[in-house]
Copies of this chain bind each other. A is one copy, B any other.
Amino acid sequence: MGPVSEPSVPLARLFAIGYRSLVDGLHEELPRRGWPDVRPAFGFVLLALRDSPASLRDLPGMLGTSKQAVSKLVEAMVAAGYVERDADPDDARAKRVQLSDRGRQLLAAVEEVYAELERNWAAALGEERLQALRADLVSVLSATSGGRLPAVRAVG
């Protein structure tokens, strides 16, 4: 191998391309399916609330952003009808956040579109290698971040 013969494409660039490809594909398809007002940032909140409601204070850690950014994002999603935000009965300072019915339907649509996009990838790459790619990504991202999949953005 020559020292500077053919530099490989930086992984960061490949990740940026892959991310944009999938997210753009998603947000091209959602309006066609009757979801015209979904902003890109909504997706991470949908995922975070997928399995259970959360207190607003938990979301910054899950999303990797500040509590102020989360507050504004949740406000927008409440206004759009995708999440519900009500008082925590045990702590008058805190508020609970959970998906609304509409939010849950949106989440299902998002997962369906992602599944279709990934099927295209499987068709181009092969199902086996696609799953290996996913597994390796999970493995290396967990390993370099203390054994668990980290937040999308490192918490400042």
Contacts and interface: CB of A to CB of B under 8 A. Distances in A.
A141 B130 CA distance: 12
Interface in A134-154: 134, 136-141, 143-145, 149-154
Top 10 A-B residue pairs of the complex, sorted by shortest distance between their CB atoms: A124-B143, A15-B19, A12-B22, A14-B137, A125-B140, A15-B18, A15-B15, A16-B152, A17-B152, A124-B140
A121 interface: yes
A9 B111 CA distance: 10
A22 B11 contact: yes
Nearest to A15: B19
Given A10-B114, A156-B153, A20 B64 contact: yes
A141 B11 contact: no
B16 A155 contact: yes
A12 B26 contact: yes
Contacts of A138: 2, 9, 14
A120 interface: yes
Given A13-B152, A124-B143, A125-B143, 18 more contacts: A8-B134, A10-B111, A12-B22, A12-B43, A14-B134, A14-B138, A14-B141, A15-B15, A15-B22, A16-B153, A17-B150, A20-B155, A21-B141, A124-B144, A125-B136, A132-B132, A133-B136, A153-B156
A13 B47 contact: yes
A75 B121 CA distance: 38
A118 interface: yes
A7 interface: yes
